[in-house]
Structure 1
Amino acid sequence: MKKVSAFLIALLSLFTQGDFVNSQHYDPTWASLDTRPLPPWYDEAKIGIFLHWGVFSVPSYMSEWFWEYWRTGNINAKEFMAKNYRPGFTYADFAPQFSAQFYDTQRWAEIFKESGARYVVLTTKHHEGFTNWPSKNSFNWNAMDVGPKKDLVALFVEALRAFTDLRVGLYHSLFEWFNPLFLEDEANNFTTQYFVWNKTMPELYDLVNTYKPDLIWSDGDWMANHTYWNSTNFLAWLFNDSPVKNSVVVNDRWGKYTRCKHGSFFNCDDKFNPGKLFPHKWENAMSIDKSSWGYRRDLKLDDLNTIEELLQLLAETISCGGNLLINVGPTKEGIIVPIFEERLKQLGSWLKVNGEAIYASKPWSKQNDTITPGVWYTAKNSTSGTSVYAILLKWPGKSLILGSPITSSVTTVNLLGYPEFFNWEADPSGGMKIEIPPISYNEMPCQWAWVLKLQGLKNQFVPYPEITIN
């Protein structure tokens, strides 16, 4: 009996951590792989942080695509190099300046925890091919051999797990712009796989076995189909036999034509935001810097998403069933600049008040209000009934009319973070009219985007898993 109880406790522990017991075997086909359930932790998390960091953080000009722009003759990139660097300077010459000298992983972990995010995705290798860990398949073009002389990925993973309970995600680019093996495969119309077997696949297996990530964010997929990349065979191993088979989730970038079709969750395109309920778990990967994922030294304040814009994206995304992945670009020294840190801490302060409406929420039967613009809904179901959360992007003034809720005699309305219930009445045109009491500045629970909690409504609640397509 004691053995059975111990087993049940261990099983319960897996579910409470957002993992699941993976007993099914998956074949290396999309038809089979697409049947794997999404580990619950990912949908419950709702918010992640994305980090684009690499040798491109040294020139820190234009974007993380700087090398490709320069090499293919972009005028701005060429002029930048001509004005600031000696003749004959190569992209590889930037690598020793990628110092990471102020890379304080404990501080990073604290910033991420304060942001309210539940997972963090670090770039292990972008399209430039430089690996932030000592990859045996990237000789002298990795963070241990040149530049930081450190395993940046290991330090990141260790700090995140030591100081937070955030999930670990790793970004990895399938291809590299100028790797000779890839260029040879491309010249052969991808009938050969020299690059895949000598670079891509060894790196992916190494990352999984060494760092045991909960999320793999794949990219660089668009030039060849999934059979060239060997994607389904890798994913079958990942879901069947890898050390993270019960917790790991993956995106949809595994080959030409796989986006928005195959994956634990869909990215579809950068900054994907359908604005309506989407029939599969999805993620809006966006950047605080509207023009770049990597750090830019010539960044201007107007280039950034304000906290109001960030919260609007959050409300739109979560209401429609997505997760929001918020990118910041660290400097070459390993600093998350204060303006990015401020945005993340502003988000965290908002979530301390309103996280109830975000974490582990589900889309409601209505995503945004039918009468008043700038109102987005989420919901939670419990034994006591459905709680509906109306996220207001603008403060309504003395009253607010909502067209989507159908009230009952037991309907209640309260503002998250405020102790008193609000009065309301059924509106003749349908919905409800809520009386907004005068609230002094020091009693206002937050500065931006306020959340009303509605209970006792008649509206049907459609749990998100029931409308998810595997």
Structure 2
Amino acid sequence: MTLYVFYSIFFVLLPGDLANAIRNRTNLVFGLYHSMFEWFHPLFLEDKQNGFKTRLFPDMKTLPELKEIVETYKPSVVFSDGDWDAPDTYWNSTGFLAWLYNESPVKDTVVVNDRWGTGMECHHGGYYTCGDRCNPGHLLTHKWENCFTACHMIFKIDKHSWGFLRTSNVDDYLTIQEILGQVIITVSTGGNVLINVGPTSYGKIAPIYEERLRQMGAWLKVNGEGIYSSIPWKYQNDTTNPHIWYTSSKDNQTVYASLLVWPNNTTEILLGAPVSSSNTTVTLLGSNVGPLNWRSASESGGIIIDVSNIEAYSLASDWAWIFKLQNITPKQINK
């Protein structure tokens, strides 16, 4: 599962400058957020007063604006929002999406979410967002995204606001442990992660945001193998150890077991879901210790990893750790 980090910096940087910077300097995918409505726009208020039987606002403002955004900036992601007051027929969402996928300059590459009218969330769209800060904790059959703040994970680093709040204190921000926990669980259950950063009025990113992003970047540098281009495994959460979440390589030759909490006062870590073979190998990403010793937990499955040779100070990761398991199979589910 590919992890997309989508920085939604609203109305601060010119979209064209931001698009060029991302495309020329990174390998990130560029996308844009767009609100379907404006709370106090007179045309929207008039349509609302008429029970949305008139369509002045979408015809004169929303739809022309959406087409202009797509034709000018050519985003690979269109994140729609602000749709909930009216049905998709009022917004003419199907008309716009038909144009987007059949005629627009990004028709072969664009992806959209599920916010295109009342009742659309979690039912229609290239990927589901469902609601802010949604993390179902189990595998979904349709692509989904966690917007941190409210099953779409827009990931707000600030717990309370999409924007920058000068009155926030350190307890109002997610810790790096909380952020990585959400990233790991989301990717394990087949989702993408959308992280929101609220800039100041001067367009600057506050130091605490920078710290969290740098921490996550450092962690991904060590552990990205278990995140980028991975897919969900047969099990998401371990059957025995609640702090373990799994992903798999696309060829199913390697399984990654992400450990959210390193156990205290023990030299062994129990995994209940894998079934070992004589060729099983276990390594810890970022560790200079070679293959780790392990033994079968029982005849029916499970393995116990010996971590006695790993010193805490030598760990490349300070917050979450990924074990690389090769030549294993999943325990059979009894029906």
Q: Give me the TM-score of the superposition, normalised by structure 2.
A: 0.93
Residue of structure 2 equivalent to 1:346: 215
Structure 1 residues 270-349: aligned runs within 5 Å:
270-286=132-148, 287-349=156-218
Question: In the alignment, what sits opposite 2:10?
Answer: 53
Query: Conserved in 2, the CA contact under 8 Å of 1:365 and 1:460?
Result: no
Amino acid at match of 2:257: A
Identity %: 51
**Is the helix fraction higher in 1 or 2?**
1
Bigger RCO of structures 1 and 2 (CA < 8 A, at least 6 apart): 1
Note if contact 1:52-1:293 (Cα within 8 Å) is conserved in structure 2: no
Q: What is the CA distance between 1:448 and its match in structure 2?
A: 1.1
- Using the TM superposition, give the Cα deviation of residue 443 of structure 1 relative to its aligned residue in structure 2, in angstroms: 2.6
Q: How does 1:155-194 map to 2 (within 5 A)?
A: 155-194=17-56
| Structure 1 residues 400 and 357, CA gap change in structure 2 (3 angstroms) | same
Q: Secondary structure at the match of 1:51?
A: coil
Larger radius of gyration: 1
Q: How far did 1:436 drift?
A: 0.6
Give the unaligned 5+ runs of structure 2: 149-155
Indicate which of 436, 439, 464 corresponds to 2:310.
439
Query: Residue 278 of structure 2 corresponds to which residue in structure 1?
Result: 409
Kept in 2: contact 1:171–1:218 (CA 8 A): yes
CA contact (8 A) 2:235 2:330 kept: no
User: Partners of 2:92 and 2:17 in 1: how far apart?
Assistant: 29
Normalising to structure 1: TM-score of the pair? Answer: 0.66
Does the 8 Å CA contact 1:372/1:402 hold for their aligned counterparts?
A: yes
Q: How many residues in Structure 1 have an aligned counterpart in Structure 2?
A: 321
Structure 1 unaligned residues grouped into runs of 5+: 1-42, 55-99, 104-151, 462-470
Where does 1:379-418 land on structure 2 (aligned, <5 Å)? 379-382=248-251, 386-396=253-263, 397-418=266-287
Q: Deviations over 1:186-238 (max 9, x none)?
A: 01111110000110001000000000000000000100000100101111111
Contact 2:7 / 2:194 at 8 angstroms: preserved in 1?
yes
> RMSD of the alignment, in Å?
1.5
Separation (CA, whole Å) in 2 of partners of 1:183 and 1:282: 32
Distance 2:9 2:85 in 1: 21
Matched residue type, 1:180: P
Structure 1 outlier segments of 4+, above 3 Å: none
Match of 1:422 among 292, 299, 302: 292
What's 2:329 paired with? 458
Aligned match of 2:152: none
Equivalent AA in structure 2 for residue 329 of structure 1? G
Kindly provide the CA deviation profile for residues 23-57 of structure 1, in whole angstroms up to 9, marking residues without a partner as x.
Answer: xxxxxxxxxxxxxxxxxxxx52x131332434xxx
CA distance in 2, matches of 1:50, 1:182: 28
SS for the counterpart of 1:284 is: strand
Match of 1:216 in 2: 78
2:98 aligns with: 236
Q: Supply the distance in 1 between the matched residues of 2:63 and 2:244 (Cα, whole angstroms).
A: 45
2:129 counterpart SS class: coil
